[in-house]
Amino acid sequence: MNHVLEAIAARNSCRDFADTQLSEEQIKAITDAALAAPSAMNRQPWHVVVVNNKAIVDEMNDEGMSILAAAEDKASYERMMARGGKLFYNAPCLMIVLNDGSGYAALDSGILTQNITLAAHSLGLSTCVVGMAGVPLSGPRGEEFKTRLKFPDGYKFIIGVLVGVPNSGKEPHELDASKITYIGLDA
């Protein structure tokens, strides 16, 4: 099997990160891979905010957990508490993917996000794609966080990717072949 297929098969979502900060070289390699993603008509409708400051990641984590704790529906809060009580699983780095909302921006941002996860995996790091990164960004301190994180005007949150050294590992999810339909030449 080639290296790309091996990386795709072996990558998993980490929910137990070590405190180890990412190096500038690791971040550069990951962000270069992100920027190499294809986009419709090469419009590159994305922007990535790299939060490699554990104090800010932890502050956003605490704000997000407070918002979930105060929510009427406690399902998300209870799920996070069952997983250790951390929205961001102690990750030292959060990469926030934004886009401008144009044409194929959502699809293009998804491709960029996959490049981030595979690049990190190839460097021996782990990732977890987290929609919950939007919780502190949409709460009472959302505008404050967006200002501090220098969100460009006109760009909106799409997804977050936690990146770091794993404390523990797990097996990738089982493949579900029923999700594929094959149409051959004889169709």
For the chain, give the mean pLDDT. 94
Q: CA 67: distance to chain centroid?
A: 20
Residue 135: inside a domain: yes
- Domain with 150, as residue range(s), is 11-167
Residue 71: inside a domain: yes
pTM: 0.93
For tokens 């987290």, name the residue: 130
Tell me the C-alpha distance between 123 and 143, whole Å: 33
Residue 77: inside a domain: yes
Answer for the pair 11, 127: CB distance below 8 angstroms, yes or no: yes
Domain count, the chain: 1
Is the model's pLDDT at 93 over the cut of 70?
Answer: yes
Residue 90: inside a domain: yes
Residue-wise pLDDT for 25-72, tens only, equals: 999 999 999 999 999 999 999 999 999 999 999 999 999 999 999 999
Residue 172: inside a domain: no
Q: What percent of the chain has pLDDT over 90?
A: 84
Residue 174: inside a domain: no
Answer for the pair 161, 109: CB distance below 8 angstroms, yes or no: no
Task: Enter the tokens of residue 27.
Answer: 């971040």
Per-residue burial over 20-43, b if 16 or more Cβ lie within 10 Å, else e, is eebeeebbebbbebbeebebeeee
Residue 24: inside a domain: yes
Residue 4: inside a domain: no
Here the CATH number for the domain that contains residue 15 is 3.40.109.10
Residue-wise pLDDT for 122-172, tens only, equals: 999 999 999 999 999 999 999 999 999 999 999 999 999 999 999 987 777
Tell me the C-alpha distance between 127 and 169, whole Å: 11
For tokens 């072949």, name the residue: 177
